[in-house]
Amino acid sequence: MNKLKSIFTYLILSVAALVSLFPFLWMLISMTNKSVDITQGSLMPGTHLFENLRNLFENYNVGSALFNSFFIAIIATVLCLVISSLAGYGFEVYRSKGKDIVFTILLLSMMIPFAALMVPLFRLFGDISQVFPAIGVDTLYAVILPYVTTAFFVFFFRQNTKMFTKDLIEAGRIDGLSEIGIFFRIYMPSMKNTLAAAGIISFMNNWNNYLWPLVIIQSPENQTIPLLISNLGSGYTPDYGVIYTAIVIGTIPTALVFFFLQRYFVEGMTGSVKG
């Protein structure tokens, strides 16, 4: 009976794994085929990998797009972790009358879809451009700024801070640490899992972000990877081999980040549920 059960379980899991892995496999195989073979659904690896790579790197500025994407994702993630953890810590640890009202308003702001914020945000950056063009329209900075922190991450850190032993704070105070010292030397090291989880989510969000960079970035030299991939597919006769090659290249960094931080990520996410 037990054996039957486990066979059944593995069968279902295998089907589920196939369904979720197949697109990924298809992507890797398509990278090695030429466009005509891909549209005809070829499942055999082909011999056009180097040709696709050459076409992609010769005709498009992939290096600069990769650099821009890394730049945006890393800075936004670092800023996001520092600011959101400070905010989440503050909300949970300190007492204040208006705290819960402010937090509710913050959570409500999560409900507004980005499409509704886009036009006013663009206008704002249009105005910023007049006085401070270095962070205005068509700069990498303008892509980063709206994402340096979001209500979701503040909420995420506050939930996880609930598990943090408050006695440690008292102990730190008695030992003469300043408040900021407690935050960086006691709180932060014990929040590794949460930081890793938030870091992965933030990195992926920023790496894959499409809509906002699309409207705010205009010059080709400021293009990010998702914008580049979108351009590849825009022709009347798209070269699918080149498109899949670009998608694979664009997927590698997020995959790497995830694999390296996976252990922490799982712990961080389950932590937030318990909290």
Partner 1 sequence: MKKWLTVITVGLLTLILSACSLGADKNTYEETGVLTAWAWDPLFNVAALELAKDYYIEEDESFELEIIENGQKDIVQRLNTGLSSGTMKGMPNIVLIEDYRAQSFLQAYPDAFYDLSDYFNIDDFADYKKAPTSFDGGQFGVPFDTGVTGLYLRTDYLEEAGYTPEDLTNITWDEFIEIGKDIKEKTGKLMISINPNDPDHLRHMIQTAGVWFTEEDGRTVNISENEAVREAVRTYTALQEEGIAHINTDWSSRVAAFQSGEVVSVAVGNWMTPSIKAEESQAGKWTIVPIPRLSVDGAVNASNLGGSSFYVLNIPGKEKAAEFLASTFGSNVDLYQDFVTEIGAIGTYLPALDGEAFKKSDDFFGGQKIIADFITWMEDIPSVNYGMHTYASMDILIGEMQKYKSGKELDDALIDAQKQAEGRLSN
Q: Under the rule (CB under 8 A), what is the footprint of partner 1?
A: 35-36, 38-41, 59, 71, 74-75, 78-79, 82, 118-120, 122-123, 125-127, 129, 133-141, 144, 177-178, 180-181, 184-185, 188, 211, 214-215, 218-221, 227, 230-231, 233-238, 240
Buried b (16+ CB within 10 A) or exposed e, 14-28: eeeeeeeeeeeeeee
Q: Cβ closer to partner 1: 149 or 272?
A: 149
Give how far Cα 194 sits from Cα of 189, 250, 265, Å.
10, 25, 7
Q: Cβ closer to partner 1: 148 or 269?
A: 148
Give the Cβ contact number of residue 36 at 10 Å: 11
Q: Give the CA dihedral 159, 165, 168, 170, nearest 10 degrees.
A: 80
Q: Cβ closer to partner 1: 202 or 272?
A: 202
Q: How far is the CB of 9 from partner 1 (least distance, A)?
A: 32
**Separation between Cα atoms, residue 169 and residue 175, nearest integer Å:** 10
- Do residues 261 and 193 touch, judged by C-beta distance below 8 A? no
Q: Cβ closer to partner 1: 74 or 106?
A: 74
Give the Cβ contact number of residue 5 at 10 Å: 9
Q: How far is the CB of 236 from partner 1 (least distance, A)?
A: 5
For residue 8, the number of C-alpha atoms closer than 13 Å in the C-beta half-sphere is 5
Q: How far is the CB of 184 from partner 1 (least distance, A)?
A: 5
Q: Cβ closer to partner 1: 38 or 197?
A: 38
